[in-house]
Structure 1
Amino acid sequence: MERKNFLKSLFVGAVSVPAVLAACSKDDADAATPATGGSTSGGGSTSGSCAVAPTETEGPFPTKVPSSYVRADITDGRAGYPMTATITITNSNNSCAALAGALVDIWHCDAEGNYSEYGGTGMQSTNYQAVHFLRGRQTTDASGQVKFTTIFPGWYSGRATHIHVHVYSATGTSLKVTQIAFPEGTGTAVAAVNGYKKGLSGYTSNAQDNVFSDGVAQELATVTGSTTAGFQLNSTFAVPA
């Protein structure tokens, strides 16, 4: 759904910044996630000794036809610091064993904070509806891993740096929609990238982000590397499969 149309569905005749933030807030579906243990930081739940990844909103920019973008390199020529994203999926219903054969979709904004497949509206003036950069799908291997070649994401108003993740079973059943958060502060990759040309003035931190403000313990990636050598991101999510 276009961001402008999304806002129109919430308010008539006015574009509201709070509405934009609400569009990126936590999804009510998390309440339906079964839990055999207590609640955990970040909105997830526990299943035995395995913490289930929090359920988050897909946001206003989900990939429209994810099955069309089965690929490991999702860069599509977008400028930015190179980054390899390694995501590991485990099965919370099987003692956190690696989940092989799962479909993993990711998508994120470019260095300027824009998404492909959307635009030409008041909320994203640049029209990228006809292109599909920084979106892709991979199938987990025997270790439950997928790897994507991409760029370090930029940021846009109201959100911290993040990557969207949607995990499906091998048969296409949705198992989890969540997001990856990035470490912040002195010495981190976010500080090194410094918002690309935008800088970090006006940046929304994880603590102030509507999605991550309740905690990022289960969503916070490990990010190493540099602007000269490129970055490596590692993230692990448990899903009920």
Structure 2
Amino acid sequence: MERKSFLKSLLLGAVTVPVALSACEKEADAITPSTEEGTVTDPGTSSDNCTIAPTETQGPFPTKSPASYVRSDITDGRSGYKMTAKITIGNTNKNCAALAGAIVDIWHCDAEGSYSEYGGSGMQSVNYQSVHFLRGRQVTDANGLVTFTSIFPGWYNGRTTHIHVHIYNASGTSLKVTQIAFPEGSGTAVALVNGYSKGLSGYTSNKNDNIFSDDTAGVQIATVTGNTTDGFELSIKLNVAA
């Protein structure tokens, strides 16, 4: 059964609900920001067991026409620290062997916490309905891998730093909608980026996030390496039943 989340009630038509949701008014754990540019010293460790990725909500900002954005570089001019996202898809029906030919869509917010294709409402005041940044589609190679060039995501009230993922088989049948979380704490990329201009005051940690709080095995937490000068690299394996 799909896990409950604070976004469950935020259907696309419910554009009047503010992003500062009272349902998520839990105290966030403090994440000590870095005081200077540096390199990740705690990249986190992704789960490598053959566990199927949890099913999650698409959220209120899914890509409207994902087939229109077959591209590896999804930056679209958005400013922020460069991030390369390497996502491997495994097939739980074959001992989590690489799943070649799978279609993978991703989308996430920009440095200020805003999504493209939406806005101009109480839910997101800045209107980005006519642009399509930080959204893209790729097909997995023989190793089950897709690679996207993007920027490190920002955050918005009620949610931790995250990336949305929708995985389809080669025929376009949906296999999984899920989300990716980031390692947190001293020495992580989240601390180095320090929420960009927003800082981390009011930030919702993974364990207080209504999507990731039950991920005790760390299945959804990526490994993130790199630095603010050269950029970051995110890697994770997501397993689906194909």
Question: Scaled by the length of structure 2, what TM-score is found?
Answer: 0.82
* Counterpart residue identity of residue 196, structure 2: Y
Equivalent in the alignment of 1:235: 236
Equivalent of 1:6 in 9, 14, 18: 14
Give the 5 Å matches for 1:8-157: 17-18=21-22, 50-157=50-157
Equivalent in the alignment of 2:40: none
Counterpart CA distance in 1 for 2:19 and 2:77 is: 32
* Counterpart residue identity of residue 234, structure 1: S
RMSD: 2.2
Shift, 1:3, TM fit: 7.0
Counterpart CA distance in 2 for 1:100 and 1:66 is: 19
| Structure 1 contact 7–16 (Cα < 8 Å) conserved | no
CA deviation string 1:35-85 (max 9, x = no partner): xxxxxxxxxxxxxx7210000100000000000000000000000000000
| Structure 2 contact 20–158 (Cα < 8 Å) conserved | no
Shift, 1:123, TM fit: 1.6
* Counterpart residue identity of residue 239, structure 1: V
Counterpart CA distance in 2 for 1:55 and 1:4 is: 19
Aligned residues: 210
Instruction: Specify every segment of 5 or more residues in structure 2 that has no aligned partner in the other structure, as ranges.
Output: 1-9, 25-48
CA deviation string 1:3-33 (max 9, x = no partner): 783266xx8xx998246x5xxxxxxxxxxxx
* Counterpart residue identity of residue 226, structure 1: N
Counterpart CA distance in 1 for 2:19 and 2:181 is: 27
* Counterpart residue identity of residue 5, structure 1: G
- Percent identical residues: 70
Equivalent in the alignment of 1:184: 184
| Structure 1 contact 4–123 (Cα < 8 Å) conserved | no
* Counterpart residue identity of residue 182, structure 1: F
Instruction: Specify every segment of 5 or more residues in structure 1 that has no aligned partner in the other structure, as ranges.
Output: 22-48
